[in-house]
Amino acid sequence: MESRVTALPKLFIGIDIHKRSWKIHCSTDLFAGKSFTMPPEPEKLREYVQKHFPDHEVSTAYEAGCCGYAAHRSFVNFGWRSLVVNPADIQRKGKERYTKTDRIDAQLISRELKDGRLESIIVPDIEREELRSLFRRRNELVKDFRRVKSVIKMQLLYYGVKVPPEFDNDHWSHDFRHWVDSQKFVFGTARECMASKLRNFRFIDKELRDVSSQLRAYCRKHFKQDFYLLRSIPGIGGIVAVGIIAELGDLRRFSSLKHLAGYVGLAPSIYQSGVNSKSMGMNPRCHRLIRSYFVEAAWQAIRTDPVMQAYYRQHLGKDVKKIIVKVAHKLLSRTLAVIKTKTPYEIGVIS
C-alpha cells in the first residue's frame, strides 16, 4: 500500500533577539534541534529555513523588548506563524531559573513553543504603535517637566531665595515665572545659571504643550467616535482618552470585564489552598499608567456621579485605598460598556 503524507512537518524556531545578533534554536516535531547565531536579519533566517527545512510549517517566537515588532511583521509576511511573548510567560524549570545565556533562552522559547504553552501578546498595528510612541514621548516630557521645576526651586533654596507664599505650590503661574526672572544675584554667573535652567524649562513646557495638542488633534480626527465616548466618562479628559486609545487599543477586543481588568491590573491576586483563601491585593502584573488613570478618574466619578458616590459610601469603614480601587473597577466596567454599546456615559440618579 502506498503511504501518503497527510500533514506538513512542523518547525519551531525560538529566537533570542539582540541588536547585533540573534541566537536561534530550531527544533521539529521529531528532534530537539540545534542552536546557532546569525545576523539580525529576517531574510537570512528565511534563507536558512528554505535551505534546510523547505517543506516545513514554520512557527517562530521571541520575547517582547527593545527591538519592537519589525521582525514579527517580516515573519508574518513570510507566511509563518509568529508570536511575540511576555518574558514572564516563559516557564523555567529547576536550574534554568539560575542559569541564563542567550542559547538557553532560545532553547526555552523553542521548547515552550513546541509544547504549545506560549501565548502571544497583542501586537498593535503600525498606526497605533506610532501613536503610542508619541504618547510615551509626552510621558517622558512630563517627567522632565517635573524634574526641571524641582531643579529650579532647589537652586533658589540653595541661594537662600525665599519663594513668596502665594507662589509656593505646584502650579507655576505666569506671575511666578516673571518673579523668578526678576531675581537679582551678586555675580553674573549665578544669573546665567538660573537663566539656562529657565530656558530649559520653557523649552520643555512648549514641547509638552505642542505634543499634547498633536495627540488630541490626531485622535479627534482618526479615532473620533471612541475619543468622544471616552471623554464622556467622569475623570477622563483628552489626554487620558488618548492614553487609553494608544495603550489599550480597541477595547472591543476584550471579551469580558475580567479580561480587561486583568490587563489593566484592577483584578486582585488570590491565594487559595484547600479551605483557605485570601486576597493578596492588586495584581503586580498590570499596566501601571492606565491603572493610575482609572484610580484618579474614580475620585472624580464619586464627586460627579451620585450612583458612584453611593457605591463608595456602601464600603465606608474599610481602607480608603481599597474602596477607591473598587470604584475604579466599576468605572472600568462602565468604560467597557460605553465603548461596546457606543453610548455616551450618563450620570446616574438615585431614586
CATH of the domain at 20: 3.30.420.40
91 is a domain residue: yes
Does residue 134 share a domain with residue 106?
Answer: no
5 is a domain residue: no
What's residue 3's pLDDT? 57
3 is a domain residue: no
What's residue 2's pLDDT? 59
Does residue 92 share a domain with residue 16?
Answer: yes
Does residue 137 share a domain with residue 88?
Answer: no
Q: Which of 115, 138, 155 is the last residue of a domain?
A: 115
Does residue 248 share a domain with residue 199?
Answer: no
351 is a domain residue: no
350 is a domain residue: no
How far does CA 314 lie from the centroid of its chain?
32
Query: 247 with 132: CB under 8 angstroms?
Result: yes
Does residue 308 share a domain with residue 225?
Answer: no
Residue type, 244: I
Tens digit of each residue's pLDDT (9 = 90 or more) over 38-65: 999 999 999 999 999 998 999 999 999 8
Does residue 19 share a domain with residue 73?
Answer: yes
Q: Which of 168, 200, 231 is the last residue of a domain?
A: 231
Tens digit of each residue's pLDDT (9 = 90 or more) over 115-130: 999 999 999 999 999 9
149 is a domain residue: yes
60: nearest Cα among 47, 79, 41: 79
| Residue 259 belongs to domain spanning | 242-341
What's residue 285's pLDDT? 79
Does residue 79 share a domain with residue 36?
Answer: yes
* Residue segments in the chain with a per-residue pLDDT below the cut of 70: 1-6, 349-351
19 is a domain residue: yes
145: Cβ contacts below 8 Å, ≥ 6 apart: 201, 204, 205, 208
28 is a domain residue: yes
* Dist. CA 133–CA 35, nearest whole Å: 34
Does residue 159 share a domain with residue 137?
Answer: yes
Total number of domains constituting the chain: 3
